[in-house]
């Protein structure tokens, strides 16, 4: 299998790695350092191609061993080396910590807004317990924006493409004074449905909008103040809005073609999402000491929904639609002190954070009366939530409503240190003490077609469990850390070995609240930990970069969403799921990265990850021994870029990148349905452009040129249901730099 995958990779043109001969400086360890000197696996992706992507999950196109589950339009859960819960609820952070300009993104919806005007992205593979805390069991991902400079410059760029695509980007860097510079950037994206909604029932219309519409924009202002010769202040204010229509999923039981779904009109809902935030970073240089303070606020509100049964109709015309209304806010403070000498690099810090999350989740049938929350028909699963209280005369259960609030407070002390034991040998020591308090409360209601409201109370083993209203508090404290050795036999080579672990806290399930057990201890999911060993070698010259590493992850109590079958009163079986824990799992394999400048103007690169994962849980015999979700045995990328002078005033450039990954499961499923396994596939992107010396660029671009049809995530409801990746897209581009 590996040999065939490697042959397929070499036939593709692909990955985008930075292959410049100068050093790539990253802040992965929160101390600026060459990526070649870090004794850990770090992939660096250039900011310009990422700034043109439509969503953060497209980062996976450039990095082997990195995959992503995308659900509900813009909820992205990254998996690194097979580690990371595949979960569509927003209460739980992903196992790969995501940071934007140094600020932790606490939920899986905060990476949904458009990317633009980026300097680079850094992907750290493996647990990062010392540096990134509670949800870095898989690794960490840093998106870093371009900073203001003392040069007056900027650009305006536009793309036109199929599916009525209009994509406009702009940035302006303004040196306001000798001590203050401002950079303002923004992006607007408009695009029609990319997935075809087709008719499979002649009695039901299939509106085009169900295939997803994009109407999004983002703005960011960065101000850099040189408050004194040794002190600088970076201000960051940003806002983004999403006003399109989320694409509906596809029910795999329907007879539809590639890039097709089939849903009726009732689930189509306009999206009204806003994301906003601000941060202040103060750095002070005191000789060997550097002091950094990062104060941040992040928030969002969301109002959206879709047809989650993904069927035009069932049970005589009944439909299953959902709607979310969320509000979220987080405030954080990080303070770091670094000390650097020829023999020591030391960093100590403290991190404080508070979060507040509120959600109303409604499941309904047909069209919804927003005042009474009564659907035009009765959602079929609502009736089984009716509790011990009698049903009002002549009424039947119509709609489910779940209300939940979660508050989280986090505090951490951390340190990361590199100590020279000998001229060519360093030891790396790190640790982080994290404590969290999570408070959750809420209730689940069934709403009768008369408008009356009752509290959910499902039956368990024929006995009443209790009304679906309650609260609980989780208190967790964890110590994680790392130890490693770095050996540099010469200026071009680094050999390293490291042992590290990571921690991700437990929490509450944020979907349908059935009964009192939802908030009992047994209704929660527990924390997970990963202990990882890695050995590797890096070799670097002016024209070549090579990295090879082997890794083994011991995954304890991994969090996963279990699919379980429930039989309704009418005998129909449906799938319900909730986040829970396996006993353990393992993930092991090897990474290889290679990039080179073959000649003047010609850069190439490739990377590959060989991976084996295994769930270990004898209490779940149907799943014991299965692969972890989104964990391909092989994933590989390749990249090529050629730039040459056409004339004295015109330069040409051709660039292509691709990724291939073998088959993988899209979710944990005891029925092992074929539809929950995605076959291997590849994606090919390319562009060609002319660059004039007056700052004008003209180009052609294409994504998914091979038109692969694939699942970006899946869940079980009336069979297997999948969200789909985008089909082939292409267009023209124009840019002006000044």
Task: Give yes or no for residue 318 having a pLDDT over 80.
Answer: no
Q: Which of 69-78, 461-470, 499-508, 629-638 has the lowest mean pLDDT?
A: 461-470
pLDDT at 449: 94
Mean pLDDT computed over every residue of the chain: 89
Average pLDDT of the residues in 669-692: 84
Average pLDDT of the residues in 437-457: 94
What are residue 681's DSSP bridge partners?
661
Task: Give yes or no for residue 3 having a pLDDT over 80.
Answer: no
Q: Are 494 and 538 in contact (CB under 8 A)?
A: yes
Pairwise pLDDT comparison (523 vs 51), residue with the higher score: 51
Strands (E), 109-164: 118-125, 139-145, 153-161
Q: Are 16 and 31 in contact (CB under 8 A)?
A: no
Task: Give yes or no for residue 153 having a pLDDT over 70.
Answer: yes
pLDDT at 6: 37
For 332, the token pair is: 């954080």
Task: Give yes or no for residue 8 having a pLDDT over 60.
Answer: no
**CA gap 113, 507 in Å, rounded:** 25
Task: Give yes or no for residue 118 having a pLDDT over 70.
Answer: yes
pLDDT at 413: 95
pLDDT at 5: 39
Domain count for the chain: 1
165-175 and 153-161: which strand pairing? antiparallel
Confidence of residue 35 (pLDDT cuts 50, 70, 90): confident
Q: Which of 497, 624, 502, 483 is nearest to 554 (CA)?
A: 502
Domain that holds residue 462: 2-737
**CA gap 256, 522 in Å, rounded:** 41
pLDDT at 18: 38
3-state secondary structure of 628: coil
For 106, the token pair is: 């606490």
Q: Which of 147, 152, 146, 145 is nearest to 173 (CA)?
A: 152
pLDDT at 667: 77
677-678 and 681-692: which strand pairing? unpaired
From residue 522, give the alpha-carbon distance in Å to each of 90, 134, 182, 506, 507: 20, 22, 52, 12, 11
Q: Read off the DSSP letter of residue 235.
A: E
Q: Which of 630, 639, 632, 631 is nearest to 658 (CA)?
A: 639
Task: Give yes or no for residue 65 having a pLDDT over 90.
Answer: yes
pLDDT at 489: 96
pLDDT at 23: 58
pLDDT at 674: 60
| Look-up of token digits 């606020």 | 297
**CA gap 248, 242 in Å, rounded:** 16
Q: What is the pTM of this model?
A: 0.92
Task: Please provide the DSSP assignment of 548-582 as one string.
Answer: EEEEEEEEES-EEEEEEEEE-TTS-EEEEEEEEE-
Q: What is the pLDDT of residues 249-267, one digit of tens each?
A: 999 889 999 999 999 888 8
Average pLDDT of the residues in 585-612: 96
pLDDT at 267: 84
Tell me, what CATH number does 434's domain have?
Answer: 2.40.170.20
**CA gap 261, 211 in Å, rounded:** 7
Which helix H or strand E contains 47, and what residues bound it? helix 47-51
Confidence of residue 162 (pLDDT cuts 50, 70, 90): very high
pLDDT at 457: 87
């Amino acid at each position: 299998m590996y040999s065939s995958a490697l042959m397929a990779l070499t036939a593709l043109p692909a990955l985008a790695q930075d292959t410049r001969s100068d050093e790539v400086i990253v802040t992965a360890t929160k101390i600026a350092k060459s990526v070649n000197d870090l004794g850990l696996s770090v992939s660096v992706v250039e900011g310009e191609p990422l700034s043109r992507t439509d969503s953060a999950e497209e980062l996976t196109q450039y990095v082997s061993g990195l995959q992503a589950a995308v659900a509900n339009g813009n909820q992205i859960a990254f998996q690194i080396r097979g580690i990371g819960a595949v979960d569509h609820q927003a209460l739980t952070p992903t196992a790969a910590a995501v940071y934007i300009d140094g600020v932790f993104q606490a939920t899986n919806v905060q990476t949904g807004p458009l990317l633009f005007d980026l300097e680079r992205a850094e992907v750290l593979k493996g647990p990062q317990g010392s540096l990134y805390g509670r949800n870095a069991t898989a690794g960490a991902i840093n998106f870093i924006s371009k900073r203001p400079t003392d040069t007056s410059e900027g650009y305006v760029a536009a793309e036109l493409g199929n599916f009525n695509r209009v994509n406009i980007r702009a940035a302006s860097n303004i040196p306001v004074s000798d001590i203050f510079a401002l950079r303002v950037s923004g992006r607007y994206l408009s695009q029609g449905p990319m997935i075809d909604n087709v008719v499979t029932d002649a009695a039901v219309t299939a509106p085009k909008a169900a295939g997803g519409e994009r109407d999004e924009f983002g703005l960011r202002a960065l101000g850099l103040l040189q408050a004194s010769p040794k002190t600088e202040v970076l201000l960051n204010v940003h806002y983004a809005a999403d006003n399109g229509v989320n694409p509906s999923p596809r029910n795999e039981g329907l007879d539809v073609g590639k890039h097709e779904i089939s849903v009726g009109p009732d689930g189509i809902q306009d999206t009204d999402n806003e994301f906003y935030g601000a941060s202040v970073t103060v750095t002070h240089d005191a000789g060997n000491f550097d002091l950094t303070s990062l104060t941040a606020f992040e928030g969002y509100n969301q109002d959206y929904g879709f047809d989650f049964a993904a069927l035009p109709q069932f049970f005589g015309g009944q439909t299953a639609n959902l709607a979310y209304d969320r509000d979220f806010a987080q405030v954080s403070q990080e303070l770091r002190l670094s000390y650097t000498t020829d023999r020591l690099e030391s960093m100590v810090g403290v991190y404080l954070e508070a979060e507040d999350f509120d959600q109303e989740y409604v499941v309904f049938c047909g069209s919804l009366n927003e005042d009474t929350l009564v659907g035009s028909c009765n959602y079929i699963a609502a009736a089984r939530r009716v509790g011990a209280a009698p049903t009002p005369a002549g009424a039947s259960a119509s709609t489910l409503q779940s209300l939940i609030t979660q508050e989280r407070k986090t505090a951490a002390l951390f340190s990361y240190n590199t100590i020279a034991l000998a001229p060519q040998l360093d030891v790396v020591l790190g640790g982080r003490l994290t404590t969290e308090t999570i408070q959750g409360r809420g209730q689940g209601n069934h709403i009768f077609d008369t408008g009356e409201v009752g509290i959910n109370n499902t039956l368990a083993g024929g006995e009443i469990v209790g009304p679906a209203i309650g609260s609980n508090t989780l208190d967790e404290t964890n110590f994680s850390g790392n130890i490693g050795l770095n050996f540099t036999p010469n200026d071009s080579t680094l050999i390293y070995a490291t042992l590290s672990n990571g921690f991700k806290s437990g929490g509450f399930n944020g979907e349908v609240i059935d009964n009192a057990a939802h908030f009992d201890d047994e209704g929660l999911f527990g924390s997970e930990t990963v202990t990882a060993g890695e050995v590797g070698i890096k070799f670097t010259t002016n024209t070549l970069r090579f990295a090879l590493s082997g890794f083994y992850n011991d995954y304890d109590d991994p969090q996963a969403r279990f699919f379980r079958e429930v039989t309704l009163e009418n005998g129909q079986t449906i799938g319900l799921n909730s986040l829970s824990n396996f006993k353990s799992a393992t993930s092991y394999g090897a990474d290889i990265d290679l990039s080179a400048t073959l000649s003047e103007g010609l850069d190439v690169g490739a990377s590959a990850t060989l991976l084996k994962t295994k769930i270990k849980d004898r209490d779940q015999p149907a799943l014991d021994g299965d692969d972890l979700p989104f964990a391909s045995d092989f994933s590989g990328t390749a990249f090529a870029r050629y730039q040459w002078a056409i004339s004295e005033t015109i330069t040409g450039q051709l660039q292509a990148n691709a990724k291939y990954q073998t088959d993988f499961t899209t979710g944990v499923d005891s029925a092992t349905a074929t539809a929950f396994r995605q076959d291997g596939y590849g994606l090919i992107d390319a562009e060609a452009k002319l660059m004039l010396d007056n700052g004008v660029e003209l180009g052609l671009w294409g994504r998914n040129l091979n038109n692969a049809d694939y699942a970006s995530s899946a869940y079980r409801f009336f069979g297997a249901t999948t969200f789909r990746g985008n089909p082939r897209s292409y267009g023209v581009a124009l840019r002006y730099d000044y």
